[in-house]
Amino acid sequence: VDPSIDYVHVAFTSDENTLIGTVAAVNSIWKNAKHPVMFLLVTNDEAYPLLKSWIENSELRDMTYVLKKFDASVLDGKIVVRGGRQELAKPMNYARYYYPTLFPDVHGRVVHVDDDCIVQGDIYELANTPIAEGHICSFSEDCSSVAKRFSLFQNTYSNYLNFKHPAIKERNILPSACAFNAGMYVTDLDRWRQGNLTAELEYWIELNTRENVYGNQQGGGGSQPPMMIALYGKFSVMDPLWHVRHLGWTAGARYSRAFIQSAKLLHWNGSFKPWNGVSSFGDIWEKYYVPDPSGRYVPVRKH
């Protein structure tokens, strides 16, 4: 790696069940980037050799990347997910908390992207989204005009947190404050380190194993509510076209194709993933699908 090249750092976390999405998302960024990109890829023990082989034996072999294993033992006894979505308890959902220690030599901006996304814009533009002085991250809010076009309700902090809990009361968080979606964000790792954010996130997830801090509300639990608590008042708001989401909530299309084509990042959060056969705008995801050389992972197609 030439240290003089100013890379855009893009981070992913994935396990063996989501590799097919990660590879397509990575390819979409790589194909549409107009600046050098370094991919920071985090997997578990089982997924590591699979992803390594997928990259080395496909068209992605020429991209610049670092592949690391996440030691999930740091989360032992710290995760409880209340409600129906137990998949949110998977350790890889929390690996994003540990980017500063997983990549100690990476400084400045890092873009986190979930495995069920496709990036249609230049990731350099996203990496340079404004993060105000004193803020640590930039997110897309759930009360933007784009979000309201789809949602039947505005996603606020009250949808996620138990506001009767004394630890939440002490934070003076407004229940009506607009929530954000942590499936894609831009952060400054140096500010993250200076704010000791990983330790604070660990505090909240561990407390939630013993007491009902979050997770029984409409928005559910998982890795997002701790970020909402720790980053309250410490995040900036990005252009909503950089995070058009809810594509996986239903199998039907809720946005027009013209709007989807103008979006810079598409997120199939929800149950209907484009590699599982029935989803909206699956043809866009298909453009970036990279066949698994081993033949182990094959997308389910409608016909």
**Domains of the chain with CATH codes:** 8-242 (3.90.550.10)
Place of tokens 């007491």: 211
Band of residue 220 on the pLDDT scale cut at 50, 70, 90: confident
Give this prediction's pTM.
Answer: 0.94
Q: What is the pLDDT of residues 7-31, one digit of tens each?
A: 999 999 999 999 999 999 999 999 9
Query: Does residue 207 contact residue 229 with C-beta atoms inside 8 Å?
Result: no
Nearest Cα to 31, choosing from 118, 148, 114? 118
Nearest Cα to 92, choosing from 68, 127, 119? 68
Residue 261, phi then psi, degrees to nearest 5: -70, -25
Q: What is the pLDDT of residues 113-158, one digit of tens each?
A: 999 999 999 999 999 999 999 999 999 988 755 655 555 456 899 9
Write down the pLDDT at residue 255: 87
- Judged by DSSP in three states, 188 sits in strand
Q: What are the structure tokens assigned to 93, written together?
A: 């959902």
In angstroms and rounded to an integer, the radius of gyration of the C-alpha atoms of the chain is 18
Calculate mean pLDDT across residues 157-174.
95
Handedness of CA 194, 198, 199, 201 (dihedral sign): positive
Distance, CA of 213 to CA of 276 (rounded, Å): 34
Q: What is the pLDDT of residues 34-73, one digit of tens each?
A: 999 999 999 999 999 999 999 999 999 999 999 999 999 9
Distance, CA of 211 to CA of 231 (rounded, Å): 20
Strand 37-43 to strand 64-69: parallel, antiparallel, or no bridges (unpaired)? Answer: parallel
Decide which of 258 and 149 is more confident: 258
Write down the pLDDT at residue 3: 54
Calculate the alpha carbon distances from 2 to 5, 6, 36, 188, 199 in Å: 6, 9, 11, 22, 33
Distance, CA of 153 to CA of 197 (rounded, Å): 30
Distance, CA of 294 to CA of 20 (rounded, Å): 12
Lowest mean pLDDT among 127-141, 173-187, 206-220, 258-272: 206-220
Decide which of 100 and 147 is more confident: 100
Q: What is the pLDDT of residues 101-116, one digit of tens each?
A: 999 999 999 999 999 9
Nearest Cα to 203, choosing from 213, 189, 193, 217? 213
Write down the pLDDT at residue 152: 46
Strands (DSSP E) contained in 140-295 are 184-188, 235-237, 265-267
